[in-house]
Amino acid sequence: MRPSILVAVHGAAGRMGQAILRTLIGREDIELVAALVRSGSDLSGRLLAATLGARAPAIAYTSSLRADLMPAVLIDFSVAAAFDRALACAVDRKMAFVSGTTGLTAKQRAALDSAAASIAVLWSANFSLGVALLARLVAEAARSLPDWDCEIVEAHHNRKQDAPSGTALALGREVASARDQDFDAVAKFSHVGVNAPRAPDSIGFSVTRAGDIVGEHTVMFATQGERIELVHRVTDRDIFARGAVAAAHWIAARPPGKYALADVLAGDPSQVSDA
């Protein structure tokens, strides 16, 4: 008996792509049918077993989705430059779209919104249950402490391409929304300079790129004499993969629309509780 949900993974050669492939191996309720890599990739044409071992399904990495394959969901963890191709493929083939690609432009975000008219889409900067909870706490703190300074500090491995991280930006937007602010107007990405005092009502960002740090985010609220720090640290990249696979399983049966990880949690907390 075949699994009810077929999925394809775009960005399969990357760190997150590989983690998602590993997570899919052995699942009985969801089946990987395509592992998509960029054109010219060293993995193109090679069997998945080359990177995942003997337990991997007997399919090869490829740069395009075969016409005879009909996945229900496309999971995209690539880079911003490859995002448009992935989204267009999902819309063209009527696949639900789950994406954790960060560094998107305003135009790409608008395209994601437009796609939601015809397919189910779920984009998140972070597929960790802990980060989903952190976002709620950050919004509550921002509403309760409207006059306190807010600084967001994040750290990732030295190969991460976008900065600040998509998660840091999402947390900043939570603060701005809770305070009825225009995020783009209050976000401050540098305090460098001789005459660079903190701007009133600004949300500051600091970035570290070093070693193999998987992901760390701290949201600080500070005022005279005291401060509160909300911190989330990740030591295992596979938690994001498990969250993304759970989201793919959940969204496969959903009608067109724009969804969030919070919707997955609200619908069935057990879907992501193991992440």
Residues in the chain: 275
Give 49: exposed, middle or buried? Use CB within 10 Å, 0-12, 13-18, 19+. Answer: middle
Bridge partners (DSSP) of residue 98 are: 75, 122
Catalytic site includes residue 94: no
Of the candidates 10, 156, 217, 249, the residue annotated as catalytic is 156
Catalytic site includes residue 160: yes
Kindly give the pairing relationship between strand 73-76 and strand 120-123: unpaired
Of the candidates 94, 107, 160, 191, the residue annotated as catalytic is 160
d(CA 220, CA 227): 7
d(CA 124, CA 258): 11
d(CA 4, CA 269): 21
Indicate the SS3 state at residue 140: helix
Active site residues: 156, 160
